[in-house]
Structure 1
Amino acid sequence: MDQITHKFIQVNGLNLHVAEAGSETSPPVIFLHGFPEIWYSWRHQMLAVATAGFRAIAPDFRGYGLSDAPPEPEKACLTDLVHDTASLLDSLAISSKAFVVAKDFGGWIAYGFALLYPEKVAGIITANVMFMPPGAFADHFVFPEGFYVSRWQKPERTEADFGRFDVKTVVRKIYIMFCGSEMPIAGENEEIMDLVKPSAPLPSWMTEEDIAIYGTLYEKNGFRTALQATYRTMHMPGSEIQDPKIQAPTLVILGEKDYLMKVPGMKEYIQSDSVKKYVPNHETVFVPEGCHFLQEQFPDHVNELIIAFLNRNKHVAVV
């Protein structure tokens, strides 16, 4: 971990925390985290990518980790994170196209970035999410009332639920919950945090030290901006673009045991290969035992997939 450096960069009026590894003259790879993650969730990939001859850049989104929260967290939205990504690359004086590696809702940022700033994107790798044109499949994906996404859209109930525990415990519970293969759905009189019992163990690939680091880094901002931008706006970046197309080469890595595979309509969309209408240069790879945290669960396998993709498309990043 001492090969990873840390700095703060002012982006759109906020100081964003950025972790980096590798030479500044190497092709850039920017890593975009999901929830409840931060830059640290990419620790295995950053070192592997840097060793392979690329420059790894992993920011904490605004309101996450050590980055500043926006002055009005209640107005935070995913499009802010897209513009922050573009401005961050500019602040780092990166003139070449960059590869974007993203997970979970970070994938929405990656695809929005490719739509709004195509001249900056050399290629995209996403874990656990693939491109879906905004609004086109809204009727296909119906969430039950007790599904965590539905519940976390309700500020008062969610903040009361989270507020019963310290930050570290909340992160621990979410990690354990999201590792399951079933959709996390609470009963009418049950809270989301209560889906995970206090005695529930961490997955074998995560340590107590990892959870302590996540907890410590979430203490600065808590979950207010994270929940607002991710779950309470649900506005897909780039939705204003008619007939959206992503021309950059794209790789999607999916865990076959990820609970998201059981979201109504998701498997049908994936199996139909409809995504190629919008992302012509698209490839999907399935990880048989993969859960929602592929890059931490199977870091070596994910690293191999990422580095092979980067090497195949390295020429695209050259100015």
Structure 2
Amino acid sequence: MRSRHVEVNGIALHILESGVPGKPCVMLLHGFPELAYTWRNQLLPLARAGLHVVAPDLRGYGQSVTTPVTYSDDLLPYSMLNRVSDVLGLAGALGYEKVAAVIGHDWGAPTAQWCARVRPDVFQSVVSMSTPFFRVPIVALGTANAPKAPRNDIHRELAALPHPRKHYSAYSATRGANEDMWHARQGVRDLLRAMYHFKSADWNGNKPFALKSWAAAELAQLPTYYIMNLEQGIAQTMAAQMPSAEQIARCQWLTEDDMDVYSAEFERTGFQGGLNYYRVAEHPSLGAELRVFAGRTIDVPACYIGGDREWAVYQTPGAFETMHQACTRLLGVHLVKQAGHSVPEEQPGEVNRILLNFLREAGGGAESF
């Protein structure tokens, strides 16, 4: 496993890589709050199968950050198409005109999906982990003379519940979110440990099921890491969910050595780089450029992997059930047993088996299994 920086799209991206350059390339895109290190259990096994495996610290994360990102910094570099440009530029810088597979987890998953949607000539297959494949909006027909339908304000509806709540993505886009997390009373290390535990199969409360609609009463069934208590921030939410010393000692998929890596990086950089991905999603104009792809499907071979104990599968009602409308070649949908949100870390053996089987079926170039 090797570490280096590569100049790409105006930024020096830090990458972890394994395998022989020139072999079929696989890109691994992490989520929030994660790092290239999140893929530590995939890098070597995929390389042994005959692949050149590359995992970057994405824009705003880890060793790709020299000076901590602030809320006042330019948000445009974090737009979806510029994040696709980062991945495309990295492939080119490494000498690849084609990438056998782009694989994303959490926030890395939408980026991977858009890589495959807009540049199928480069990204020959795609895997989305945890985040379902999303359809892009279609061009609305016959609206010129139709009455304008009232717009539901889900955030107002959540706040009006008998037990007032708020959506974590809206909170994550606020100016105070980074300060809340970076300078949490419990410290960054315990904040991260609680976040990873709370969303994992280790937390017994994770028993997900499909929600009926995008309505406040339905969303309120999600745990508080998604639909937060109205008056609490992320740090306070996580402080109430800190695992015990015994639970930490039993956790083999996220050791104290692993936590050293995560906590050291986020203590240095803060969280604003990753939180900017939420800000882009909430921004009324930065997503407007994506409308030019209205109705565009993902037409390369695709695969979905989630955990059978993770709510990300269902947090957007209907998305999991309609992935075949987003992907014309959806070759597999897998819910890994005894895995929560950190599925590549919690169950790496099963995830690696699924990935290699998919790459073989999709023609991804792996030599042996």
TM-score by length of 1: 0.87
Query: Residue 295 of structure 1 corresponds to which residue in structure 2?
Result: 344
Greater alpha carbon shift after TM alignment, 212-221 vs 232-241: 232-241
Query: Residue 67 of structure 1 corresponds to which residue in structure 2?
Result: 64
Greater alpha carbon shift after TM alignment, 276-285 vs 86-95: 276-285
| 1:231 aligned to which of 278, 281, 294 | 278
Query: Residue 243 of structure 2 corresponds to which residue in structure 1?
Result: 200
Greater alpha carbon shift after TM alignment, 32-41 vs 218-227: 218-227
> Do structure 1's residue 7 and structure 2's residue 57 form an aligned pair?
no
Instruction: State whether residues 98 and 121 of structure 2, in contact with CA within 8 Å, keep that contact through their aligned partners in structure 1.
Output: no
Structure 1 counterpart of 2:101, which letter? F
Instruction: State whether residues 50 and 365 of structure 2, in contact with CA within 8 Å, keep that contact through their aligned partners in structure 1.
Output: no
Query: Residue 105 of structure 2 corresponds to which residue in structure 1?
Result: 103
Instruction: State whether residues 128 and 303 of structure 2, in contact with CA within 8 Å, keep that contact through their aligned partners in structure 1.
Output: yes
Instruction: State whether residues 188 and 263 of structure 2, in contact with CA within 8 Å, keep that contact through their aligned partners in structure 1.
Output: yes
Q: Distance in 1 between matches of 2:335 and 2:50?
A: 26
3-state secondary structure, aligned to 1:25: coil
| 1:150 aligned to which of 157, 163, 170 | 170
Q: Distance in 2 between matches of 1:157 and 1:121?
A: 34
> Do structure 1's residue 167 and structure 2's residue 188 form an aligned pair?
yes
Q: Deviations over 1:76-130 (max 9, x none)?
A: 3333211100001111111233311110111100111112211111111111122
Instruction: State whether residues 27 and 314 of structure 1, in contact with CA within 8 Å, keep that contact through their aligned partners in structure 2.
Output: no
3-state secondary structure, aligned to 1:119: coil
CA RMSD across the alignment: 2.7
Give the gaps of 5 or more residues in structure 1.
none
> Do structure 1's residue 18 and structure 2's residue 68 form an aligned pair?
no
Q: Distance in 1 between matches of 2:112 and 2:315?
A: 21
Q: Distance in 1 between matches of 2:365 and 2:48?
A: 20
1:84/1:276 CA distance change after superposition, 3 Å: same
Query: Residue 221 of structure 1 corresponds to which residue in structure 2?
Result: 269
Give the gaps of 5 or more residues in structure 2.
139-150, 159-164, 207-221
Structure 2 counterpart of 1:301, which letter? E
Query: Residue 162 of structure 2 corresponds to which residue in structure 1?
Result: none
1:224/1:306 CA distance change after superposition, 3 Å: same
3-state secondary structure, aligned to 2:229: coil
Aligned residues: 308
Q: Distance in 1 between matches of 2:175 and 2:364?
A: 46
| 1:128 aligned to which of 124, 127, 130 | 130
Query: Residue 43 of structure 1 corresponds to which residue in structure 2?
Result: 40
3-state secondary structure, aligned to 1:107: helix
1:269/1:204 CA distance change after superposition, 3 Å: same
> Do structure 1's residue 280 and structure 2's residue 328 form an aligned pair?
yes
- Post-superposition offset of 1:206: 1.0
1:11/1:315 CA distance change after superposition, 3 Å: closer
Instruction: State whether residues 167 and 218 of structure 1, in contact with CA within 8 Å, keep that contact through their aligned partners in structure 2.
Output: yes
Structure 2 counterpart of 1:297, which letter? E
| 1:243 aligned to which of 295, 298, 303 | 295
Instruction: State whether residues 115 and 238 of structure 1, in contact with CA within 8 Å, keep that contact through their aligned partners in structure 2.
Output: no
Q: Distance in 1 between matches of 2:279 and 2:108?
A: 15
TM-score by length of 2: 0.76
3-state secondary structure, aligned to 2:184: coil
Q: Distance in 1 between matches of 2:365 and 2:299?
A: 12
Instruction: State whether residues 182 and 270 of structure 2, in contact with CA within 8 Å, keep that contact through their aligned partners in structure 1.
Output: no
1:109/1:316 CA distance change after superposition, 3 Å: same
Q: Distance in 2 between matches of 1:173 and 1:311?
A: 37
